[in-house]
Amino acid sequence: MNPTSTVPIRRALLSVSDKTGIVDFARALHALGVELLSTGGTAQLLSNNGIPVIEVADYTGFPEMMDGRLKTLHPKIHGGLLGRRGVDDAAMDAHDIPPIDLLVVNLYPFEATVAKSDCTLPHAIENIDIGGPTMLRAAAKNHNAVTVITDAADYARVLTELRENHGVVNPATRFDLAVKVFEHTARYDGAIANYLGSIQADGGRDPFPRSYSVQFHKAQAMRYGENPHQGAAFYVEPQPAEACIATARQLQGKELSYNNVADTDAALECVKGFTAPACVIVKHANPCGVAIGATLLDAYHRAYQADPTSAFGGIIAFNRPLDATTAKAIVDRQFVEVIIAPEVSPEALMITASKQNVRVLACGQWNTDCRAPGWDYKRVNGGLLVQDRDLGQVASSDLKVVTQRQPTDAELVDLLFAWQVVKFVKSNAIVYGRDGMILGVGAGQMSRVFSARIAAMKAQEEKLDLHGAAMASDAFFPFRDGLDLAAEFGITAVIQPGGSMRDNEVIAAADEHQMTMVLTGMRHFRH
């Protein structure tokens, strides 16, 4: 560290767009004897609150101009931030550049501005901050001597150190805050590049910009990745748009592993699709038990019944707060890796505490009727595949009946339930279900007919009767063999996207077996 880094803070420059907490912070700095410089609206706010402040224009002798575009781009500002104490002192003295020891800046709200439906390109351009990022980078580069703050959440931390250390901020804190600056400006510049790079020659917007920048924050280091020889960490979005694995609070249990996070995400995203009390049990990224019920306990019992063997060591997700009765049923019955719910009652936590290694998470409540759009990513060697999240839904009114027999009301409910589940099963995917409970799952097979056979084997293993059940397929049937096989097991209703060259053959097979079949026109591949 620079040997002059223990000099107390004597001068601060405050220029913020988000003025949360700035008055109290400035008042505390003034009480510590710090001289305050500021610009425009921030200076006016401080002055109105009786806090002595020097306008930057008065400090530099250079007026603010060009509708505020030019305020702080002056050697007296940047020299005061960049000057190396003990190295550049002579140059600073020769040009009358006093040191600035503390910089507090947050930037024009570019992301919030361009997110508005009525934002125009000229308006977006005017919300690109120039002076702010320039000062931030200068101060962060010179963090050996300068403390720099971009987040109001750090005000209290810095004040505490100033009071405890006679006006000095610890070198480790200055370094941490400097890193935070470069993270902040990188995200800011990335957002600008994403927006401008999406604008086409005709003025239209390409949803996928010509270059793509995204920033995630490290939430957890992990002992290893998918396998012990792989390093890993869990990164999260700065502001997730809805309750999810990234928003989850761990209330008890061992540290989450890489596979725990992936499987918990799969279980939670599946259970979000149901409005009735629901339980989803996932093993190796695929649901092995899914059910709805009159109560959470009923839903859990029915989900477990679908595949008790695979449920061992699985991930359990609920769409209602976890209650004590359901928690007791789980810990008394099975070994479970993770339980996640919107909330967890104190009584339920007292029960799960008897199994100290069980990871219990509360993720917060979501809006089932309004899921947040976003992108999914898949890394390939040398590149990144980006696509919209699969939030596609179908209602009964969207279905096209293509067989001679119409579905009964009960079959229609079963078909939609199975369709809701199959989108979360690895392709090729087949799901059998009835009465709000899955009876068998065939996942990840290279042949659709083999997925159908495996799903039936699962049901037979657990002595679950498939007669009168519904079958969902994530993609079309390329041949009629899948229908013929399902008929042997007693399936009477089928839901699938359609679109095969042999749709007529598949429909004919359904008619031969007196099945009802509906087409969704929507595929749900999952790889």
Q: Which helix (H) or strand (E) holds 23?
A: helix 22-31
Structure-token pair, residue 35: 């001289």
In the set 19, 30, 180, 284, the catalytic residue is: 284
400-401 vs 516-519, strand pairing mode = antiparallel
Q: How many Å apart are CA 423 and CA 62, to the nearest integer?
A: 62
Non-local CB neighbours of 247 within 8 Å, separated by 6+ positions: 240, 363, 364
In 3D space, the residue among 413, 409, 415 whose CA is nearest the CA of residue 432 turns out to be 415
78 is catalytic: no
Q: How many Å apart are CA 11 and CA 76, to the nearest integer?
A: 13
In 3D space, the residue among 203, 212, 208, 187 whose CA is nearest the CA of residue 121 turns out to be 203
Structure-token pair, residue 82: 């960049």
Q: How many Å apart are CA 413 and CA 178, to the nearest integer?
A: 56
430-434 vs 470-473, strand pairing mode = antiparallel
284 is catalytic: yes
In the set 30, 141, 180, 328, the catalytic residue is: 141
Q: How many Å apart are CA 1 and CA 85, to the nearest integer?
A: 11
Q: How many CB atoms lie within 10 A of CB 285?
A: 18
364-396 exposure pattern, b = at least 16 Cβ within 10 A, e = fewer: eebeeeebeeeeeeeeeeeeeeeeeeeeeebee
Structure-token pair, residue 489: 């097991």
Positions annotated as catalytic residues are: 141, 284
